Structure formats: C-alpha cells, structure tokens
Amino acid sequence: MKTIFFYKEGKKIKMQRRLWEMIMIVAIPLILVIIILAVLGLAYALRYNAILNNVTTASNFNQDFKDNVDLKMYYYVIDSQYSEGLPIEEVYSAKAIAQKLIDTTTKKDSLRAISSVLNLCHNLEEKMQQIAETEEYDSRVDQLEKNIYILTDLIQRFMYTYLYYEAVHLNDLQSTMIKNVIALMTLVGVLVLILLFLLLNNSKKLTKKIVDPIDRICERLEAIGKGSLLVCEPVKADVEEIQILSDGIESMVERLKWQIDKNAEQEKQRRRTEFALLQAQINPHFLYNTLDTIIWLIESGGINGAVKMVASLSNYFRFSLSSGKDVITIAEEKKHVRSYLEIQHMRYVDMMDYEIEIPDALDNYVLPKLTLQPLVENALYHGIKNRRCKGLIRLTGRAENGHVVLEVVDDGVGMSEERLCELRSSLTDKKREGFGLRAVHQRIQILFGSEYGLSLESVPDGGTRVIVEIPMQLSQQTNG
C-alpha cells in the first residue's frame, strides 16, 4: 500500500508541474507586458500631469497685466489723485508665477520663454524704482513710455508664448501617447494570440490524457448522484491515478448499493418495531383508565351510565382498530377522541366540559392513530381534575404555513416553569415521566420527520396548551 501511495504521489506532482508550466507560458509574458505598460503609463501620466500643472499655473497670470500696470504707472507718473503708488504687487505676482514655472518646466523653448518673463520682471521692478527716484516730470514720462510700456508688453507676450509652447508640448505628448499605446496594444494582441495558440495546443494534448477521462468520471458521478447505482465498467485512462480513481468509484458504488439495501431493510424493520412498540404502550394505558371508570360507575350503581360508557368504549375500539392501520385521517381521530371525551364526561359531568372545533377542511389529512387521546387524557387528569371548579377541554385545528396545527387546551391548574421545562425535556429523553406525551411526540417524528411533533405552553393556574404540528399529507401520500 505504501509503495502505491508514493507512486501515485509522484504522478500527481508531474501533472501539477505540467499544468504549472502551461500557466507560466502564458502568465510570465503577460506579467512582463503589464509591467511595461504600467511603467510607460506612469511615465506618460507624470509628464502629462507636469505640463498640465504648468499650463494651469501660467493661467493664473493676470491677462490684463499690461493694462493694469501701465495705467497705475501712468497715474503715478502724473501724480494723479487716482494713483495708488507703484504697482509693485502685480510685478511680484508675475515673478512668483515665473519662478514656480521655471522649477517645473523641462522643455527648452518653454523654459527660455518663462526665464525671459522672470528677467523682464526684474527689469520692470528696477525701472519702476528709477521712476520713483526721478523728480523731473518730463524724464519720468519719457521713462514710462520707453521702459515701462515696452517691458509690460514683452512680459505679457512672453507669458503667452510660454503658454503656447506648453500647449504644443501637451498636444505632442498626447499624440505620442496614443501612438505608443496603439503600438503596444497591437504587440499585446499579437503576443496574446501566440500565447493562446501555445496554450490551446498544449491543452489539447493534455486533455486527451487527463481531462477527457475526468469528464467521463464526472458524468458517472453525476449519474450516481441521481441515484444510478448500477456497477459499470471503469473508465479506461492512460494516467494511473485516474484509472485507480475510476476503479475505486465502481468498487464504492458496489459496496454503497449493498449497504443502502441493507440499511433500507433495517430501517423498515426498525420503524415497524418502534411503531408497534409505541402503539402497544399507548393502548393499554388508555384501556386501563377507561375500564377503571366503568368499574367506578358499576360500583356506584350507575348501570345505565356504565352501559352507555361500554357502548362508547365499543365504538371507540371499533374506531381504534381502523382495519389494522397505524395512520388514520383527522376525521377518524376526531371520532376517537370524541368517544373518549363522551366516556370521561359521563364520569366527570360536574367536573369537565369539552369542545371540538377542528374544521372539516382538515378531515382528509393523516396523523398517527391515538395522537389526540393521550393529550386529552393528560389535560383531564393533570389539569382539570386538580382544580376545584368545573373546567373545559378544547380541541382546535387550523392550517398554517403548509402545516396542520392541532391544539389541546385546558383551563386547569397549569404548571410551573420548572415543571414545564422538565416535560419539554422528557419529549426526547428516556425518563419515566411524560410517557404519554413522549410516545405521541416520537410516533409523529418517526412518521413525518424530526421537524414535526409536540410543543408545550403552560402558566401556573392558567391552564396548559399542547400543540401538535404535522404536515398536510393525505393518506395516499403517506402510504406511498
């Protein structure tokens, strides 16, 4: 066994390596191309963003720079009442923009233009100071016309020139980006086609040895999943692991079919035994209490009542026999429990009343025989009988969320929370207490499944409610 295990493990490694190589053939070139595209894209993005920032910064330059500076200098020179002094702030603003652009500009023509703007701003500032130091009016006017007007015009022109060059560079960069992206995408397309051809070619070869047999095994497993447990010939494969897998599946199917048949027969036998045992436990329990009532009537001289009770008991057992059926309709169960209540009402006429309000629309749904009678019996002996005044036992039924819900409600003494918890636990454990409830609960679950059965509600001195939940099944469905 160990030799086979290591041999198989080696084979698996070889197949994994072959698949890994196929993946690497495609993945490595694509990863390299993606890295190249990412680097180029990042480089172009950084360059594009830098030029765009330069254009944005240059756009902050006052488009009316020349007009504003010339007018303010004119007012200053003629000593007008509108004069605000030297327009030095405008010059400082232009110098700041130019200095910032010099630090981020890389193209020679753009750098030359913005450097000219900065130098001209320095000259303009000097010429303004000269005018401020000149007292003669004619000389100041002459400097204004020959220096200030010319310098502001040049500053504005060079700034526009800078914007033009940067816009041209931006457009050139965009065109270059588009051309390079088209070239790279073409290269990637060709590379992808080549890689796909290699991948498909290798996959086709590998498929014949591995994938095709696996597909046939998957089809076989799908058929098994749908219930086909016929033993078939194993799938023939060149790969030893797949052959062993197919042989193991067929061997497993053979063992599984044998085990299922065996378990099914055992389950049928178990259900028959449990059902018969539970039924046998319930019937003597009810018969003992009923006969005890008849004996009491005879001893007390109520012969007519005893006769009526024997007649009711006869009817009850005629219904109970139900042609040997363990599952009956709700209509038959109503007759059963009505006979029982008639019997008990004759004995406890001053102690209890009863109402049966189960709609006829539920009559054809089925439940285990003697489901309601033990619940009514508990309501009488543990609820109504222990109170000091007359009580009521009420049976109701309804359809709810696709289920049938039957309730046995009494207004007896109820029970404490601790006692209620004990009874709820007794539905599933093996304690002696709560035998009647546990038997009914287990019989329902044996027949319909663990999601159905009994639930209990009770309040001290407020009565008890036993809820029976069963599926909405007709007798034909249950028999099937």
CA–CA separation, 111 vs 118, rounded Å? Answer: 11
The least confident of 19-33, 277-291, 422-436 is 277-291
DSSP 410: E
Query: DSSP string of 332-367?
Result: HHHHHHHHHHHHHHHHSTTTEEEEEE--GGGTTBEE
Q: What is the pLDDT of residue 15?
A: 62
**pLDDT range class, residue 68, cuts 50, 70, 90:** confident
Mean pLDDT, residues 66-75:
84
Q: What is the pLDDT of residues 378-404, one digit of tens each?
A: 898 888 988 878 899 999 999 999 899
Q: How many residues comprise the chain? A: 480
Q: Which of 46-50, 51-55, 111-115, 359-363 has the highest mean pLDDT?
A: 359-363
Question: In what helix (H) or strand (E) does residue 478 lie, and over which residues does it extend?
Answer: helix 475-479
Q: What is the pLDDT of residue 408?
A: 95
Q: What is the pLDDT of residue 274?
A: 54
Mean pLDDT of the chain: 79
Mean pLDDT, residues 245-270:
74
Q: What is the pLDDT of residue 398?
A: 94
Q: What is the pLDDT of residue 321?
A: 63
Q: Report the alpha-carbon angle 456-473-423, nearest 5.
A: 15
Side chain identity, residue 231 = V
Q: What percent of the chain has pLDDT over 70?
A: 84
Q: Nearest Cα to 440, choosing from 314, 334, 281, 321?
A: 281
Our measurement of the distance from residue 271's CA atom to the centroid of its chain's CA atoms, rounded to an integer in Å, reads: 39
Mean pLDDT, residues 296-324:
74
CA–CA separation, 124 vs 148, rounded Å? Answer: 6
Q: What is the pLDDT of residue 86?
A: 86
pLDDT > 50? residue 269: yes
Mean pLDDT, residues 358-366:
92
| Cβ(374)–Cβ(357) below 8 Å | no
Question: Topology of 263-479 in CATH?
Answer: Heat Shock Protein 90 (3.30.565)
Q: What is the pLDDT of residue 32?
A: 82
pLDDT > 60? residue 4: no
pTM over 0.75: no
Mean pLDDT, residues 432-440:
71
Question: In what helix (H) or strand (E) does residue 157 lie, and over which residues does it extend?
Answer: helix 149-206
Q: What is the pLDDT of residue 466?
A: 94
CA atoms within 13 A on the CB side of 52: 8
Mean pLDDT, residues 372-382:
88
CA–CA separation, 411 vs 355, rounded Å? Answer: 12
Q: Nearest Cα to 373, choosing from 286, 461, 277?
A: 286
Kindly state the tokens that stand for 89: 């702030």
Side chain identity, residue 105 = T
Mean pLDDT, residues 231-255:
72
Return the SS3 of 40. helix
DSSP 434: T
**pLDDT range class, residue 346, cuts 50, 70, 90:** confident
CA–CA separation, 184 vs 287, rounded Å? Answer: 94
pLDDT > 70? residue 430: no
pLDDT > 90? residue 471: yes
CA–CA separation, 36 vs 40, rounded Å? Answer: 6
Q: What is the pLDDT of residue 54?
A: 74
Mean pLDDT, residues 74-81:
84
**pLDDT range class, residue 12, cuts 50, 70, 90:** very low
Q: What is the pLDDT of residue 10?
A: 42
CA–CA separation, 124 vs 118, rounded Å? Answer: 10
Q: What is the pLDDT of residue 388?
A: 78
Taking the CA atoms of the chain, what radius of gyration do you get in angstroms?
51
Q: What is the pLDDT of residue 359?
A: 94
| Cβ(177)–Cβ(44) below 8 Å | yes
The least confident of 52-66, 277-291, 410-424 is 277-291
pLDDT > 80? residue 281: no
Q: What is the pLDDT of residues 151-188, one digit of tens each?
A: 888 888 888 888 888 888 878 877 887 888 788 788 87
pLDDT > 60? residue 477: no
Domain boundaries, the chain: 2-210, 263-479
Mean pLDDT, residues 281-296:
67
Q: What is the pLDDT of residues 313-341, one digit of tens each?
A: 787 777 666 556 778 899 988 988 888 88
Return the SS3 of 449. coil
Q: Which of 144-148, 345-349, 452-456 has the highest mean pLDDT?
A: 452-456
Side chain identity, residue 477 = Q
**pLDDT range class, residue 261, cuts 50, 70, 90:** confident
More confident residue, 8 or 125: 125
| Cβ(394)–Cβ(355) below 8 Å | yes
Residue 388: is it exposed, middle or buried by C-beta count within 10 angstroms (0-12/13-18/19+)? exposed
Q: What is the pLDDT of residue 11?
A: 46
